[in-house]
Amino acid sequence: MRRRILTTALAATGVLALSACSGGGGATGGMDARGPITIWYSNNDAEIAWGEQMVKAWNDANPDQQITAQEIPAGSSSEEVIGAAITAGNAPCLIFNTSPAAVPGFERQGGLVNLSDFPDGEQYITDRSGDLAEQYRSDDGGFYQLPWKSNPVMIFYNKDLFAQAGLDPENPQLSTYDQFLATSQKLKAAGVSDYAINPAPTSEFFQSWFDFYPLYAAQTGGKQLVEDGQATFDDADGQAVADFWRTVYADGLAGNEQYQGDAFADGKAAMAIVGPWAISVYKDKVNWGSVPVPTEKGTAASDTWTFSDAKNVGLFTACENKATAWDVLKFATSEEQDGAWLDETGQMPLRTDLTSTYADYFAANPSYEQFGDQAARTVEVPNVQNSVEIWQAFRDDYSKAVIFGEGDVNTFLSDAKTRIDQLAAGK
């Protein structure tokens, strides 16, 4: 589920051979055009099941505006496939699998429709997602993505391994950095697992979303990596988070070599940073509990922020029947369909009052309720130019200083800020 995202440019994938039928070709119809459309959705079973029922419900009610749907075509990453389709002029009307980090690049390609240009576009998005929607607004003030669903990440811990180490599995001491490190040392000393926690130490740009960034979001009360065109992390909060992770690696509480498998599921790590998708994955493998990510001094769960791990929906300029596509997008993110999405996938719709709107669901599925509450306090990747390059620059410097202990943290923070400020300025 830690989806591999854009790392290379175009690929000779099957998407280039797709026909331009049903609004998916090189046409650039007006915003009021209606008719058949094509859509793509993700290729995991739960999302396919939701997509199929959504499409059937729409098609049954709209015989003159039919949806043709398919899984996103295979490629080294979904973002690579989407970028290739934009270039070829045969992107579908809607893609329910659009990474926020890739949106600035797709926008620069001219591939995305500004949803704010629909008469009710601005109001629909802000009414549905509330204040969280602002993180997805582009520099020109428009929305080139509809905030759709998130997987707010938290700490999963293995209750059985905690008990074996003499720790209280119902009251884990993990809320402050000192507590987290002390607990990790006890797990290590007891020899119950190879590592206390083992985030991927690899160099892909998105890996910092599952180690540094959730803790930085929590430590700062919801700050993004870049705000107002400037990197934010070269300060006491960034230092605290980086020092914490450097200690984790220096003390051997996490590994700096890639593990081929799922370290948490395999019992190689007693903890993991994951979202609600993990509940169904681990339910028959690990006796788990979950808590918010730690902060330096400790923060109440109701005040803790984290990384969203969101995927959104893009409406693409190749679409001929844009008015139908917009109506489908609103239908697919209605209260009814968001409820169906939640029930089918366990992923959190990016909408206000989530836990009260779907109170029956969370009452029947209490393991998801904590994530439903957490979904109201999530931080997205900055919607800025050179987004992928910014995260790669950060990951490169972070890896050297934090994971491998080369150089000092202050220099890493300062140097990374300089590089990222330049990239955010388009240099």
The total of structural domains in the chain comes to: 2
Kindly state the DSSP code that residue 197 receives in the 8-state scheme. E
- Run of H or E residues at 39: strand 37-41
Its domain, for residue 366, covers 37-150+310-379
240 and 367 in a single domain? The answer is no
301 and 197 in a single domain? The answer is yes
- Note whether residue 23 is domain-resident: no
99 and 86 in a single domain? The answer is yes
Q: For residue 144, what are the contacts with CB-CB under 8 A and spacing of at least 6?
A: 103, 106, 107, 112, 113, 114, 115, 138, 314
Whole-number average pLDDT of the chain: 92
pLDDT one-digit tens code per residue, 254-291: 999 999 999 999 999 999 999 999 999 999 999 999 99
Helices and strands in the chain: count of H runs, count of E runs: 16, 14
- Note whether residue 9 is domain-resident: no
Give the global pTM.
0.91
pLDDT one-digit tens code per residue, 375-403: 999 999 999 999 999 999 999 999 999 99
The per-residue pLDDT for 289 is 97
CA distances from 127 to 121, 131, 147, 414 (A): 10, 9, 11, 39
388 and 416 in a single domain? The answer is yes
CA distances from 273 to 27, 58, 200, 212 (A): 43, 37, 10, 11
355 and 389 in a single domain? The answer is no
- Note whether residue 62 is domain-resident: yes
The per-residue pLDDT for 29 is 62
- Note whether residue 28 is domain-resident: no
- Note whether residue 264 is domain-resident: yes
- Note whether residue 15 is domain-resident: no
Q: For residue 324, what are the contacts with CB-CB under 8 A and spacing of at least 6?
A: 23, 33, 34, 35, 36, 37, 65, 93
The per-residue pLDDT for 178 is 98
- Run of H or E residues at 47: helix 45-61
The last residue of a domain, from among 379, 394, 415: 379
215 and 254 in a single domain? The answer is yes
95 and 189 in a single domain? The answer is no
Q: If we measure between CA atoms, which residue out of 154, 136, 3, 143 comes closest to residue 82?
A: 3
- Note whether residue 31 is domain-resident: no
224 and 87 in a single domain? The answer is no
Q: At 268, which CATH number? A: 3.40.190.10
- Note whether residue 16 is domain-resident: no
315 and 345 in a single domain? The answer is yes
pLDDT one-digit tens code per residue, 29-68: 689 999 999 999 998 999 999 999 999 999 999 999 999 9
301 and 324 in a single domain? The answer is no
275 and 420 in a single domain? The answer is yes
Distance CA 412, CA 269 (A): 27
Cα 168 versus chain centre, distance? 31
Q: For residue 63, what are the contacts with CB-CB under 8 A and spacing of at least 6?
A: none
374 and 388 in a single domain? The answer is no
